Structure 1
Amino acid sequence: MAPDKIVAVNVEEIGGAMRAERAARGWSLADAAREVAALAARTGGRTASPASLRTQISRWENGRVVPDADSLALLRTLYGRPDLAVGEQPAVDGPAASPAERLRAAVARAHAVDDGALRLLRRQLALTAELDATLGAAGAATVVAAQIEQLDVTSAHAIDPYRRRAVAELLARAALLGGWQALDQDEADVAFARHRQAHDAALVADAPPLAGQALAGCAAALLAAGLPAEAEAVLTGAPESGPGGAWARIARAEIRIAGGERGEATRLYDDAAALVEDTDDGERVLWRDGVVPPVLAPQVSHRRDAAFAPYDDEALAHLRAGVDEPGLPARERARLRTQLVLALVARGVREEAQEQAGRARELAGAIGSRRAQRLLDEALG
């Protein structure tokens, strides 16, 4: 054992050691999950899916659960830490719970989520949404991942249809947050998985606005991965009306823009705007007006201006004014500022682009947006 290593003898120490090793390598949770999965593939081991493994690593690092023996072996190899081991655990009286007993316990925990608990879960997620709007993934990703896991288990074991739909709606909202965070962190694979999870939950909840946004997120992840045909295909079955329909049309418009079809993109943005105009006020704001921006009914004008700013003078003027709009969440401010830089570079206005890039990088760094940083680097060289 290396002399400068501290032996990890309990869950908290293991978690702290894992977190320190990951930080020393500059890895995100998704980076660590990919490295663990790759190591397992090379050595014949098995792991969870990338999205689930990312959540597991977060829970291990936070001392919530003990890594299993196989996972610990992978972590020891990955980090070069033979000292990562769990000390003796206190003996448990009686035999271990049987599979049937574990299922009964899970169903009982889900059944305990009554109307009062649902109100608390909604309040908890609302606060998380506010935290995300202020700090982005840098300050809220771990909290969101933990809430997704909790809601996913509860939804899976809820027997009462009303409770299952209610929990599934919260799961859809949480997974949407996680999906947009992952896309912001330039983790297209995790973003796609989270948005798929949100879509499945939205179908259980019978929530078309959430289902439409989830499919738009799937399309955005596929488009970011260079798969425009697949992005178009994933939108099959998206809602045709309401906020969900607006999200689907925006996603299709962005696919058209990427393919140079500006005329068709204009029509789709206009259709989306018309659907938003027909949206009930109760669907416009996810939590509280002025705190979290409209996400059920999207801000069509922002997205259209960002898409057309490289070619259209009016759109560029709107985008210049929009980047300083009061009340925008941190992720939207960083996205719009980055899009403004890209538009200015496309128009050859390098001096203003450089000036705006400094502010965009500051915003991106504050919220942990590796995607914005990459786009700025690619545009400015």
Structure 2
Amino acid sequence: MTNGLKAARSAREWSQERLVREIERHARQHILDVPSTASLRVYVSEWENGRRAISARYAKILRALLGITDDELSGETALSETSTTADGYDDLMGRIDAARNISLTMVNTFMDQTELLRTMDRQMGAAGLVDQMTAHLGTLEEALTFAVLPQTRRPVARALAGAATLAAWQALDVGAVERAWRNYELAKRAAQDAEEPMYLAHATAEQAYVLCDAGRAPMAVQLIRDAQRLGGKGMSPRLTAWLHAAEAEICARAGLAADCQRALEKAMRSLPPGEDARDPDMLSIFLNDGHLTRWRGNALALIGDNEAVSSLYAALDNTDPTFIRASAGLRCDLAQAHIARGEYDQAHEHLRQARLIANRTGSVRHRRRVEYLTQRF
């Protein structure tokens, strides 16, 4: 149990004492009985040193606090194989018959569950959703495993592609990078099974961010351009604009200023007019002029363009208040733009706000960026 718990705690820059306080706070909020502070200090130390096993009761609390799975908590990062071996042909045929009876209503229920988890993630962060997301993916994978005929498989695979992409982004946000990568691979396989090139393009493009965060920006540029190819000519205008905006950001992180500018121009040309942000063909895509203004400011800040500040403040004035976690990224963008101009007081204030939001939502990804930018001045 040593490495998983300690690694997750360290990723949040929590001391053992901070973890004890968070356990106590969680217990108060959920009306749970826990031992004294002194006893919890001993428990945490012994959990991390392998002298005490983490019970199911405490594992549930730690998963909610740290946004990690049981395998990650124990240090076994590879996803375990869930046995779906049927006990004889009768059992197997029973599962297949049950999957065959999955109706469009049931698929819509799966999609609604994904939408609820997406809304909760956007407003509260991903850390507390790990159990719900893991169960949701398990249900969808089980349904797809025993769905035989295309008319049943495709709708379920489409629902799984969307859910797995969301789960991957949530894992990336809480610092579980291997889980993120595996879930993107799951999303891509499901999109191919569903014959949905838009879902395949979206999952592939988001996967490029894993490479980018790992310091492999040139490889990420290649992957996101491949995502555009995979989407083909049938992509919605809003998804097309989203892909070009993502390409611009990743090109900026790769130091390709001219490519970044060209991708931004393509994004602005592709974006449909109007205030609507939701893509009816891709429910996971939110993009309107306000969002693109923020994204443009982010990319320009990365390449040191002076226009970044005005774009970012325009985005700040018009930001959707329900995008709580995204506001931490916007504050980091503003800090980066001010640092490039030598305006350190303004940068410091935005980083302070970003840190508060990252702590509130449990975003390891944003916290790392805050710490990186703080070291620059």
Q: Which of 159, 166, 171 is residue 155 of structure 2 equivalent to?
A: 166
Aligned counterpart in structure 2 of residue 341 of structure 1, from 335, 338, 342: 335
- Residue identity opposite 1:322 in structure 2: A
Per-residue CA shift, 1:336-355, capped at 9, x if unaligned? 12222222223221111111
Q: Give the total of aligned pairs.
A: 315
Q: Is the 8 A contact 2:260 2:299 kept in 1?
A: no
Measured on the aligned residues, the alpha-carbon RMSD in Å equals 3.5
Residue pairs, 1:77-96, within 5 angstroms: none
Distance 1:298 1:196 in 2: 31
Is structure 2 residue 308 aligned with structure 1 residue 319? no
Structure 1 counterpart of 2:262: 267
Structure 1, unmatched stretches of 5+, are: 6-12, 38-48, 57-66, 68-95
Q: Aligned residue for 2:182?
A: 193
Note the 1:56-75 alignment, pairs <5 A. none
Aligned residues of 1:181 and 1:191 also touching (Cα < 8 A): yes
1:308 has 2:297 as partner? no
Q: CA deviation at 1:147?
A: 1.0
* Counterpart Cα distance in 2 of 1:198 and 1:140: 18
Q: Are the structure 2 counterparts of residues 19 and 117 from structure 1 closer, same or farther at C-alpha, using a change threshold of 3 Å?
A: closer
Aligned residue number for residue 140 of structure 1: 129
CA shift digits 1:1-47 (9 cap, x unpaired): xx999xxxxxxx94214345x579x865259527533xxxxxxxxxx
Name the structure 2 match of 1:108: 97
Conserved? CA contact 1:342–1:376, under 8 Å:
no
Query: SS of 1:277's equivalent?
Result: coil
Aligned residue identity for 1:317: S
**Superposed displacement of residue 247, structure 1:** 4.0
> 1:123-162 CA distances to partner (integer Å, 9 max, x unpaired)?
2222222212211203333322221121122122212312
Q: Separation in 1 of the partners of 2:281 and 2:321?
A: 14
Q: Are the aligned partners of 2:66 and 2:128 in contact in 1 as well (CA < 8 Å)?
A: no
Q: State the shift of 1:364 in Å.
A: 0.9
1:294 and 2:286 equivalent? yes
How do 1:150-229 residues align onto structure 2 when only pairs under 5 Å count?
A: 150-229=139-218
Query: Are 1:29 and 2:68 an aligned pair?
Result: yes
Q: Secondary structure at the match of 1:326?
A: coil
| Equivalent residues of 1:126, 1:287 under 8 A apart | no
**Out of 90, 93, 107, which is 1:118 matched to?**
107
Residue 352 of structure 2 is aligned with which of 355, 358, 362? Answer: 358
Unmatched runs of 5 consecutive residues or more in structure 2 = 1-38, 44-53
Q: Once the 2 structures are TM-superposed, how far is the Cα of residue 177 of structure 1 from its aligned partner?
A: 1.1
User: Cα distance 1:139–1:127, how it changes in 2: closer, same or farther (>3 A)?
Assistant: same
233-242 vs 201-210, which deviates more?
A: 233-242
* Amino acid in the other structure paired with 2:251: R
- The 2-side partners of 1:358 and 1:212 are apart by 35
The answer on whether the counterparts of 1:133 and 1:331 sit within 8 Å (CA) in structure 2 is yes
Q: Pick from 359, 365, 375: which aligns with 1:371?
A: 365
Output the TM-score relative to the length of structure 1.
0.71
Query: Compared with structure 1, are the counterparts of its residues 205 and 142 closer, same or farther at alpha carbon in structure 2 (3 Å cutoff)?
Result: same
User: Residues 60-86 of structure 1, C-alpha deviation per residue, up to 9 Å, x if partnerless?
Assistant: xxxxxxx9xxxxxxxxxxxxxxxxxxx
- Percent identity of equivalent pairs: 25
Alpha carbons 1:293, 1:329 under 8 Å: kept: no
1:286/1:294 contact within 8 Å kept: no
The structure 1 residue matched to 2:324, chosen from 319, 325, 330, is 330
**Contact persistence 1:138–1:366 (CA under 8 A):** no
Distance in 2, Cα, partners of 1:106 & 1:31: 27
Check whether the contact 1:284–1:296 (CA below 8 A) recurs between aligned residues: no
Residue of 271, 295, 319 corresponding to 1:276: 271
Aligned to 2:6: none
1:61 corresponds to which residue? Answer: none
Give a deviation string over 1:167-194, Cα, whole Å, max 9, x none.
1111111112111112212333222222
Change (3 A) 1:313 1:273: same
Report how far residue 253 of structure 1 moved. 2.3
What is the letter of the counterpart of residue 371 of structure 1?
Answer: R
Q: Output the TM-score relative to the length of structure 2.
A: 0.72
C-alpha contact 2:174 2:363 (8 A) present in aligned 1 = yes
Cα distance change, pair 153–233 in 1 and its aligned pair in 2 (3 A): farther
Does the C-alpha gap of structure 1 residues 189 and 162 become closer, same or farther in structure 2, counting only changes over 3 Å?
Answer: same
